[in-house]
Amino acid sequence: MTPNTFIRPLAAVLLTAASFAISAQTLVPAQSEIAFTTRQMGVPVDGRFGAFTAQVRFDPKNLAQASVAFTIDLASARIGTAETEAELAKPDWFNTKAFPQASFRSSGVKALGGNRFEVAGQLAIKGMTRDVVVPVTLTQAGATSTAQGQFTLKRLQFRIGDGDWKDTSMVADDVGVRFKLALTGVPAL
């Protein structure tokens, strides 16, 4: 991963923070998660990431200035067995020595009605960057707002599962990604 992969998103977040009047929300890690489901020989396999950060600036009445950025520690992937988790760190899978983090940076947020939104942006994993559109539902309970959604990515587009693992009859190309981000400081809907 090149230094620009981290410097550009960091610069965008810093510029956003300096130029927008929207106050930043605070992630509540204990109530948040990023999880995934893949299929190995047709059997669903669930996993999650234990370490990630998010920088969110969101006011439902001022979507033009909204921004979402997050970084995931790929070495924090948990899939149930130590042997499988050690395999995920290897070059054919996440290659965490060369690519320790995945990242997402929004380029726009669109209201869909009924507390639903579309967040467009770029997802970067293992040196590959792809445009994605992520559906998000926002709920509020007291001082905490929860942004939830799910989308499907194609693992081979990100070179996840190189070599012999490119065979999608063994491990499906589709990976379902689910997230729940608990935030404080989101203005009322």
Instruction: Provide the domain count of the chain.
Output: 1
Tell me, what CATH number does 64's domain have?
Answer: 2.40.128.110
Pair 124, 157: CB distance under 8 Å:
no
Sequence-distant (6+) residues with CB within 8 A of 59 are 22, 65, 66, 186, 187
Rounded Cα gap, residues 111 and 125, in angstroms = 27
- Say whether pLDDT at 23 is over 90: no
Q: How far apart are the first and last CA of the chain?
A: 38
Range of the domain at 84: 3-184
Pair 65, 57: CB distance under 8 Å:
yes
Sign for the CA dihedral angle at 26, 121, 11, 15 comes to negative
Q: Give residue 3's pLDDT.
A: 47
Per the DSSP assignment, residues forming a β-bridge with 44 are 39
- pTM above the 0.85 mark? no
Q: Give residue 114's pLDDT.
A: 94
Q: Give residue 55's pLDDT.
A: 94
176 lies in some domain: yes
Q: 104-137, pLDDT tens digit by residue? A: 999 999 999 999 999 999 999 999 999 999 999 9
Q: Give residue 22's pLDDT.
A: 52
Rounded Cα gap, residues 131 and 146, in angstroms = 24
Rounded Cα gap, residues 99 and 126, in angstroms = 5
Q: Give residue 182's pLDDT.
A: 95
168 lies in some domain: yes
148 lies in some domain: yes
Short-list 165, 177, 156, 1, CA closest to 77: 177
- Say whether pLDDT at 176 is over 80: yes
Q: How many CA atoms lie within 13 A of 45 on its CB side?
A: 18
* Average pLDDT over all residues of the chain: 89
**For range 55-64, the mean pLDDT:** 92
Pair 22, 66: CB distance under 8 Å:
yes
189 lies in some domain: no
88 lies in some domain: yes
**For range 85-105, the mean pLDDT:** 96
Q: Give residue 11's pLDDT.
A: 41
The H or E element containing residue 92 is none
Rounded Cα gap, residues 171 and 151, in angstroms = 18
Pair 149, 135: CB distance under 8 Å:
yes
Give the percent of the chain with pLDDT over 70.
88
Pair 123, 102: CB distance under 8 Å:
yes
Q: Give residue 150's pLDDT.
A: 97
